[in-house]
Amino acid sequence: MSDDNPRPGPDRTRLPLDVDTTTRPIRPVEAVPGSPNVVVVLIDDMGFGASSAYGGPCEMPTAERLAGDGLRYSRFHVTPLCSPTRQALMTGRNHHSVGMGVTSEMSTPEPGYHGYRPSSAATIAQILSGNGYCTAAIGKWHQTPPVEVSPSGPFHRWPMGEGFDYFYGFMACEMNHWYPQLYQGRYAVEPDRLPEDGYHLSEDLVEKTISWIENQQAITPDRPFFTYVAFGATHAPFHVAPEWRDKYAGRFDEGWEAQREQTLARQKELGIVPESTDLAPWAEGVPRWDELDEDDKRVAAKFMETYAGFAEHTDAQVGRLVDALDEMGVLEDTLIFYLLGDNGASGEGGPRGTFREHLVGHGIQDETADMLARIETLGDPTTYGIYPVGWALAMNTPYPWTKQLAHLGGTRDGMIVRWGNGIEARGEVRHQWHHVIDVLPTILEAAGVPEPRTVGGVEQQPIEGTSLAYSFDDAEAPDRRSTQYFEMIGNRGIFHEGWTAVTRHGTPWEMVDTSKRPFEEDVWELYDHTSGDWSQAHDVAEQHPEKLRELQELFLQEAARFHVLPLDDRVTERENPEVAGRLDLHLGRSSLSFGPRVGRLTEEAAPNVKNRSHVVTADLEVITGASGVVVAQGGRFGGWSLYLVNGVPHYAYNFVGRDLAVVRGGKPMTPGRHDLVVRFDYDGGPVGSGANVTLEIDGVAVGSGRIPVTTAYYFSFDETFNVGVDRGTPVVDDYLPVRNAFEGLIHRVRFDLDEVADPGTPQGREQAVMVHQ
């Protein structure tokens, strides 16, 4: 965009604008006259070929409706993971340019990976708010450094510190849709309903969105609004009521390869891809449908039925929002971006899928027999599922590979744009090549505001995206994007003037992997899109070695320019702060003390009890027959809890939702004040080793037990640490997921931590993988 101010009035290149106190009455900063409302809706982990609007099997009538009234983009690109795409979307800069080379939980101190958005890269919300817009963010955020997600803040990288007037949602990469742990503004909140009362997170998010817009329109209808609605769906866990899942019963019994063929045929009918498009080759290491036995097929089909129901349910909530905009009379004046994925469909469920996602995060595959025994529960609060990689490949039709990869299956998603009063074209497809960093400059152009030179006195780094508004009413307009690099966890790619060079370094479901080859041994592929290869189906690296070398050199130039180097291929290991080199929020203190009101602490704010011996001492006053949780971390799918049942002390250790060890104290505690102690004696050696646990009351052992395997890397992305209650799902079914507060009095809970085992050595990581296999 040009830096020139587009029309008379205040200098909008320098934000924030000052209120003009010479006018009578004094008015707030005003938007450029005629600026549209803007709504950006983002679906999580949805592949190019999932939605019915893009030829897929998931019925999404709202997406079809918006596409019929607007435009479908067939060559829209994202990064291959969620935090990087979201930061690129918010800033209009490449993800490494703003320090988000990976997810926030995997950040390291390196310039392209530290996870701290620089003040020199203002967000859409900061720019629009500075130009008179009302702004709201609802749903998944996943852009704040984890060490700052605590009641202590700081809060300037939370949504309301990044330009949003209102926030309701969650901060992490995923969330339990039945028992979410949410924030309103900077304050922790929980829904006032339960799943048995009909609660579902996606419905709640849209209810809050509509409510915010209704209030904004009632009070300041003359001010345009910017609303960012980021669903947790369709990221794992797949949580949806059975009536949505069962609608798809039997539809996927032919398998994922048949689904690819069906989807490609529909995509050609819709004009989303050319008639000449071929399916990309089947991904290495992924079983064919006819290689599965009948039990595997039954479980796999149920996974896809659940996912499709989850996707349709999400789209129905978007439909509620669109209807509300229409009823308020603002739909035609609203520029809507409906992004059908922040990356490609996820293959992180592995060859069989899993009912417990944290299993695969620790290098373990779920067992088909166990999943089959619980197949009718899939989608309910007792499950935390993600489908097999075969379905991810089908949902990415016609492209190869999945999320995490720099291939088109990881980087190309559907995007629908509707603007009733701003785009004349209806129901058309646009084939211009674009990237998620292009959304911000498009919004600025539509709003009539320039790219800011300074924001809050900070000089701004250039916006790296290109507005796609030129394509709105010109289907034949030539592309304005000729070059774009891609990198994620060592997987690399470069697009340049119709050619793509790409290399796969890792495998998406092998997230604890010490056997990756050196980067210099990666095999690069070359695709010539100028000759009609739309889907990366035909590798021509051998035929054009000079072109491949040219693109490899161009990738290195772009990588140096945008802070991609040094490459880092670690996945789960980096989720441990000690390995990643992130700040320890507790500054290395070996003794930590918490009062009875401390809670909602994320993994990096909680005491790090993983891979080390430790002692938990609870100073309690007990009443006769007291029950409830003294202190807990995590939930049903991984965590630990110290609690009482009818006065009897218990300690439960839940390993990734698969193995539960419970140590019981034998007899009820007597009324009065006591020290209830857990001694956790870690075996040492590789991360994730076993431990012996002893329960003590006032220095006397009352129970002991063995935990054969412990959690090496993380307990949970969505559940938290709490004193006096276990919020969210329960670590153990000895108590309810709600109403489990401790019935006595907690004075303090102290943690004494031994030196943590070093999980960063190659030997330690290798041993850890062997343990988990």
List of long-range contacts for 11-15, beta carbons under 8 Å, 24+ apart: 12/130, 12/131, 12/449, 12/450, 12/452, 13/450, 13/451, 13/452, 13/453, 13/454, 14/452, 14/453, 14/454, 15/122, 15/126, 15/127, 15/130, 15/131, 15/452, 15/454, 15/455, 15/456
Beta partners for 183?
A: 169, 188
Q: Looking at residue 21, what is its pLDDT?
A: 85
Relative to beta strand 71-77, strand 334-340 is unpaired
Annotate 314-327 with b (16+ C-beta within 10 A) or e (fewer): bbbbbbbbbebbee
pLDDT tens digits along 676-720: 999 999 999 899 999 999 999 999 999 999 999 999 999 999 999
Please say if the pLDDT value at position 766 is more than 50.
no
Answer yes or no: is pLDDT of 618 > 90: yes
How far, in Å, CA of 410 to CA of 488, rounded? 10
For residue 453, which phi and psi values (nearest 5 degrees)? -85, -40
**Mean pLDDT calculated for residue range 495-521:** 90
Whole-number pLDDT of residue 526:
98
Determine what percent of the chain is predicted with pLDDT higher than 90.
89
Please give the pLDDT value at position 771.
25
Window from 329-338, 552-561, 747-756 with minimum mean pLDDT: 747-756
Taking all residues of the chain, what is their mean pLDDT, rounded to a whole number? 94
3-state secondary structure of 365: coil
Place of tokens 């019994």: 253
Instruction: Give residue-wise pLDDT tens across range 266-286.
Output: 999 999 999 999 999 999 999
- Cβ neighbour number for residue 635 with a 10 Å cutoff: 27
- Nearest of 184, 197, 181, 134 to residue 158 by alpha carbon: 184
- Residue 602 — φ and ψ, nearest 5°? -75, 175
134-139 average pLDDT score: 98
For residue 43, the one-letter residue type is I
Q: Exposure string (b/e) for 593-602, b if CB count within 10 Å is 16 or more?
A: ebebebbbbb
Distance between CA atoms of residues 741 and 763, nearest Å: 42
Distance CA 490, CA 117 (A): 22
Name the H helices within 220-367.
242-246, 256-270, 294-327, 357-361
The CATH number of 14-474, from 3.40.50.720, 3.40.720.10, 1.20.1260.10, 3.40.50.2300, is 3.40.720.10
For the chain, give the percent of residues with pLDDT over 70: 96
* Paired strand residues for 700: 697
Determine the Cα–Cα distance for residues 572 and 574; give it in Å rounded to an integer. 5
| Spans of all domains in the chain | 14-474, 484-575, 584-772
User: Would you say how long the chain is, in residues?
Assistant: 773
**Right CATH number for 484-575 from 2.40.128.690, 3.30.1120.10, 2.60.40.10, 3.30.200.20?**
3.30.1120.10
Q: Quick one: the chain helix, strand, coil %, rounded to 5?
A: 25, 20, 50
Closest residue by Cα to residue 72 from 45, 93, 51, 94: 51
Q: Is there a contact between 181 and 175 (Cβ–Cβ < 8 Å)?
A: yes
Q: What is the pTM of this model?
A: 0.95
Q: How confident is the model at residue 8 (pLDDT cuts 50, 70, 90)?
A: low
Q: Which CATH number fits domain 584-772: 3.40.640.10, 2.40.50.140, 2.60.120.200, 2.160.10.10?
A: 2.60.120.200
Buried b (16+ CB within 10 A) or exposed e, 244-275: bbeebeeebeebbbebbebbbebbbebebbee
Contacting residues for 228 by C-beta, under 8 A, at least 6 apart: 39, 40, 42, 124, 125, 135, 136, 137, 138, 139, 164
Could you list the beta-strand ranges (E) of 425-552: 428-430, 434-435, 454-455, 458-459, 483-488, 491-496, 499-503, 524-528
Check: CB of residue 539 under 8 Å from CB of residue 524.
Answer: no
Amino acid identity for residue 392 in this structure: A
Among 527, 285, 235, smallest CA distance to 386 is for 235
Mean pLDDT (whole number) for 18-39: 91
For the chain, the C-alpha Rg in angstroms (whole number) is 26
H or E, element range at 86: helix 82-91
- Per-residue b or e along 335-356, where b marks 16 or more CB atoms closer than 10 Å to that residue's CB: bbbbbbbbbbbbbbbbbbbbbb
Interval 243-256 mean pLDDT: 98
> CB-based contacts of 412: which residues, under 8 Å, 6+ apart?
48, 75, 76, 77, 78, 344, 399
Please say whether the beta carbons of 57 and 78 come within 8 A: no
Q: Please, which pLDDT band fits residue 768 given cuts at 50, 70 and 90?
A: very low
Cα separations in angstroms, 739 against 491, 562, 629, 735: 46, 50, 10, 8
- What's the pLDDT at 363? 86
